[in-house]
Chains A and B, each alone.
Chain A
Amino acid sequence: MTTIAADDLALRRSGATLLAEVSLSLGPTGSVAVIGPNGAGKSMLLRTLAGIETPTAGQVRIDGRNLARLPGAARARQIGYLPQYFEPHWDLPVIDLIRLGAERAKHDTDGSVETVIAAFELAAPRERRWSSLSGGERARVLLAMVLAVDPPVLLADEPAASLDIRHRLDVVQALARRGKDRLSVVVMHDLDLVFRFFDRAIMLNRGRIVTDGPARDLFDDPRLDAAFGVEFERFKTPDGSLLRVK
């Protein structure tokens, strides 16, 4: 069980402010969607929480400890970061890619490799190289690599962006389900899936947090329309809520 918090984070690159005055507290469990228009700072927030980017001001704390002072190996066991794009430089087979993910653990690499291969149904393509995999298989391999050490915190940046509707639904559901006993923070573009599967939604605009609360409360919030610069029509359905741009 791990908590992650941001204290007054700021991130500036080449004179541009990408994040400002971002404070939040997450975990130890829950499914959290991070939403906002393009350029709102969603990816940068996730990268900073994951320790990929170093904040210009403020700090990220994991279980109360400053993330910047945590050794890389310990950070990699606590936080699984799923990037938006992934293309390995060498055309490795599935089994080697997953083993590299599993080696973040201190012991029993082989056991965790076999566990995730079974969990993500990768037994058939285990010897195939990355270049020969379909989009759906690639998404499963990437998830298996990141989740091979079963990290208590998962930060996923638009993990389903390039997938067809069925695979997108599978991945988003799996990530949201993880929030039942772990922390799952996911950058999402599909707002209907946010209302349907996530407990909490954080909306960013121009690098700042606009709203942070239960996902279902955001559905009727007019700030949603303002942030995305459109007017939404709202529909309640038996199994969720739907938005349509007017």
Chain B
Amino acid sequence: MKVWLVLALVLAGALALAACAGHEWASPVDLARALAGDTDMRSRLLFEWRMPRVLAAALVGVLLGLGGAVFQGVFRNPLAEPYLLGSAGGAALGATIALLVPLGASQSLLLPALAFAGAWGATVLVIGVSRVAGAVDAAGMLLAGVAVAAVLGALRSFLMLALSDEAVSLQIVLSWVLGGVQTPTWAVLGLFAAISAGCFGLTTLLARGLDVLGLGETMAIGFGLDVKRFVALAVLAGSVVVAAAVAFGGLVAFVGLAAPHIARWLVGPMHRPLLPASALVGASIVAIADAIARSALPPSEIPLGLVTAVAGGPFFILLLARRLRT
């Protein structure tokens, strides 16, 4: 119970700090006035621009935390991460196609749909490649993920070079690919919150299966789990979550790796507490990272993906070193 209180307080603190941070720092009193409905310019800017952005960043973190926990659970590999396994790269390729190729459909539908197709396709490809190579263990899967991500990245770069023109600025696609939360209206934020809640519900349904799968395939089948069907469903659900995160936040590296790890230290490896804890930790991380992205180099913004990569890269190296030592 104490852990949940701490997680909730950390998130509340992160959200408040992120809402204060920016080109111009706001005080907690300014925040309170904006929330109370004050109509001066400063309060309106805070309420209509900064707060939706902070909440959107937190929701991207929720999705990345959930996606990371699901992928680590399915692959029974603490180094699995949507970014490293190629699913985020697949989602990015799908979204780049939606942004650059004139397919005739509405972009607001096309972008999430193609991001999902890309995330799912890339994950299935990584599983397929590692199976064909006969290396379904942690290292094999990560190597296959790196290879698939490299190919998808090259395809994405080619599309960006070949198809961007005056109508679609390369910078729009690039800034999106490097990761960055756009400021949504409250209505769009409501939709994003509903999608995130749906993703949370979806992953919660997987929790017991992920716990049983963690006992190993033989025990899982012995305990009544249809392993092949469950893994296929869980990969699909994980891809939906990653696609939603990528559609709203671009490519944000390492949060999907770090959030479940930190959550596991706090609540243990059982997925029933791990999934909500990963969501809370992910939300806190991305809210803070986005605040740094907005306020570190005023008046310009650093892409969010660069901030998380700079902080997350060393974290990954640390985990890898610990794992290799054991």
| B229 and chain A: residue at smallest CB distance | A72
By a CB distance below 8 angstroms, the chain B residues around A92 are 214, 268-270
By a CB distance below 8 angstroms, the chain B residues around A71 are 224
A88 within 8 Å of B (CB atoms): yes
A76 within 8 Å of B (CB atoms): yes
Separation of A86 and B219 alpha carbons in the complex (Å): 8
By a CB distance below 8 angstroms, the chain B residues around A101 are 223
By a CB distance below 8 angstroms, the chain A residues around B270 are 90, 92, 96
Please classify the interface of chain B as helix (H, G, I), strand (E, B), loop, or mixed, using the class held by over half of its residues.
Answer: loop
Q: Mark B201-229, 1 if CB is under 8 A from A, else 0.
A: 00000001001101110110111111000
By a CB distance below 8 angstroms, the chain A residues around B223 are 76, 100-101, 104
B33 within 8 Å of A (CB atoms): no
Q: How far is the CB of A150 from chain B (nearest CB, A)?
A: 15
By a CB distance below 8 angstroms, the chain B residues around A73 are 224
Separation of A75 and B223 alpha carbons in the complex (Å): 8
Could you tell me if A83 and B224 are in contact, using CB atoms closer than 8 angstroms? no
Could you tell me if B268 and A93 are in contact, using CB atoms closer than 8 angstroms? yes
A94 within 8 Å of B (CB atoms): no
Q: Which residues of B contact A (CB under 8 A)?
A: 76-77, 208, 211-212, 214-216, 218-219, 221-226, 268-270
Q: Using a CB-CB cutoff of 8 Å, which residues 55-76 of chain A contact chain B?
A: 71-76
Q: How far is the CB of A237 from chain B (nearest CB, A)?
A: 37
By a CB distance below 8 angstroms, the chain B residues around A81 are 218, 222
Which of B223, B225, B226 has the most chain A CB atoms inside 10 A of its CB? B223
Which 3 pairs between the two chains have the least Cβ-Cβ distance? A76-B224, A90-B269, A72-B224
By a CB distance below 8 angstroms, the chain A residues around B219 are 83, 86
By a CB distance below 8 angstroms, the chain B residues around A96 are 211, 268, 270
By a CB distance below 8 angstroms, the chain B residues around A87 are 216
Could you tell me if A50 and B214 are in contact, using CB atoms closer than 8 angstroms? no
Could you tell me if B224 and A75 are in contact, using CB atoms closer than 8 angstroms? yes
Could you tell me if B208 and A88 are in contact, using CB atoms closer than 8 angstroms? no
Could you tell me if A100 and B215 are in contact, using CB atoms closer than 8 angstroms? yes
Q: How far is the CB of B275 from chain A (nearest CB, A)?
A: 14
Contact check: which of A76, A88, A97 meets B222 at CB < 8 Å?
A76
A51 within 8 Å of B (CB atoms): yes
Could you tell me if A50 and B269 are in contact, using CB atoms closer than 8 angstroms? no
Could you tell me if A104 and B224 are in contact, using CB atoms closer than 8 angstroms? yes
Contacts A52-B221, A96-B270 given; indicate if A88 touches B215 (C-beta within 8 A). Answer: yes
| B270 and chain A: residue at smallest CB distance | A96
